Amino acid sequence: MISDELIQVMQTAQTVVVLTGAGVSAESGVPTFRDALTGLWENFDPAQLATPEAFQANPKLVWDWYASRREMLADVTPNAGHYALAELEQRYPYFYLITQNVDSLHQVAGNKSVIELHGNLQRVCCFNKLHVAENWDDSDGVPNCQQCGAMLRPDVVWFGEMLPEDAIDTAFAVSKSADVFISIGTSAEVQPAASLPVHALRGGATFIEINPHPTMLTNRADFVLPYPSGEVLPELVAALNLRR
Check whether 31 has a pLDDT greater than 90: no
Q: What is the reported pLDDT for 169?
A: 97
92, pLDDT greater than 70: yes
Q: Which of 106, 118, 131, 213 is catalytic?
A: 118
Whether 131 sits among the annotated catalytic residues: the reply is: no
Q: In the chain, which residues fall in CATH 3.40.50.1220?
A: 4-29+78-118+162-242
Q: What tens digit of pLDDT does each residue of 184-241 get? A: 999 888 889 999 999 999 999 999 999 999 999 999 999 999 999 999 999 999 999 9
- Reading across the β-sheet that carries 152-156, which strands appear in turn? 132-133, 119-126, 152-156
Domain 4-29+78-118+162-242 has CATH 3.40.50.1980: no
Per-residue pLDDT reduced to its tens digit, 50-60: 899 999 999 99
Report the topology of domain 31-75+136-156: SIR2/SIRT2 'Small Domain' (3.30.1600)
**In the chain, which residues fall in CATH 3.30.1600.10?**
31-75+136-156
